[in-house]
Amino acid sequence: MKNRDPISRDGSYVKHNKDVPDDLDRVFETIRKQNRDSPEREPLNRLLGVWDVQVDFFLQGTGIRMQAYGVADGRPIVGGRYIQFAVATDYEGNSYNAMIVLCYDAIVGRYMSVLLDNTVTSLMNCQGSFDFERQLLSEEGELSNASFECRHPVRTTWDLSEEDLIDLNWEAPLGEKGQWVSILRAVMTRRPTTDYDDL
């Protein structure tokens, strides 16, 4: 056992309550299992596979509703510790492409996700919890909105209550008097294709 004191941002030493073990391989294996093999990870595993997608975009303040159709692909990345969920759709000759990376952070006990898409050059960062009784992943974060040219709060829900079906909803406080309204809904149906045995 060796006592290693890391240096903090202000240059001072951070004291450990316990010694850091020399067997770092064992430590990293424990961390890996916490993320991949914990019961909390199981809901994210349901996103794996290939999905047919229908997306409804609601442009608040304009009365415009657009529909897009395409495909989504969920797969494990970075040694299986994260789920990458990529979406490619087409609407009226335009493409909407997005990538969501999700994980369960065992250190803080929260689900976390980051989204990037081709509407704005920005990131949507969210975190939240999973309701095992309702089979609902709920997160909150912030989103840069190309229609309003601003960054605002966002709520996301992944309804996994039906087998082989995902019902994803985004809400934002963009209604009259700032009420929360739907800005996106995506319904996804699993294709009987890839089985990711390496997870």
Q: Check residue 162 and give its pLDDT.
A: 95
Q: Does residue 133 sit within a domain?
A: yes
Mean pLDDT of the chain: 83
- We report the CATH number of the domain holding residue 160 as 2.40.128.20
Reply yes or no on whether the pLDDT at 8 is more than 70. Answer: no
Q: Check residue 150 and give its pLDDT.
A: 78
Long-range CB pairs of 92-97, under 8 A, 24+ apart, other chains included:
92/66, 96/55, 96/57, 96/68, 96/70
pLDDT digits (tens, 9 = 90+) for 59-99: 765 667 888 999 999 999 988 889 999 999 987 788 889 99
Confidence class of residue 139 from pLDDT cuts 50, 70 and 90? very high
| Phi-psi label, residue 108: left if phi above 0, alpha if psi -120 to 50, beta otherwise | alpha
Position 184: which residue type?
Answer: L
Confidence class of residue 25 from pLDDT cuts 50, 70 and 90? confident
Confidence class of residue 147 from pLDDT cuts 50, 70 and 90? low
Q: Does residue 151 sit within a domain?
A: yes
Given a contact cutoff of 8 angstroms between Cβ atoms, the answer to whether 38 and 30 are in contact is: no
Over residues 134-158, the mean pLDDT reads: 89
Q: What is the dihedral of CA 52, 66, 125, 49, to 10 degrees?
A: 0
Q: How far apart are CA 127 and CA 78, in angstroms?
A: 20
Over residues 8-24, the mean pLDDT reads: 57
What domain range is 184 assigned to? 40-191
Position 87: which residue type?
Answer: V
Q: Does residue 142 sit within a domain?
A: yes
Number of domains in the chain: 1
Q: Does residue 112 sit within a domain?
A: yes
Q: Check residue 198 and give its pLDDT.
A: 38
Q: Does residue 61 sit within a domain?
A: yes
Q: Check residue 192 and give its pLDDT.
A: 84
Cα distances (angstroms) measured from residue 154 to each of 126, 130, 144: 8, 17, 10
Name the CA radius of gyration of the chain, rounded.
Answer: 20
43, two tokens: 């809901």
Over residues 49-59, the mean pLDDT reads: 91
150, two tokens: 């601003």
pLDDT digits (tens, 9 = 90+) for 85-138: 999 998 778 888 999 999 998 888 999 999 998 887 888 999 999 999 999 999
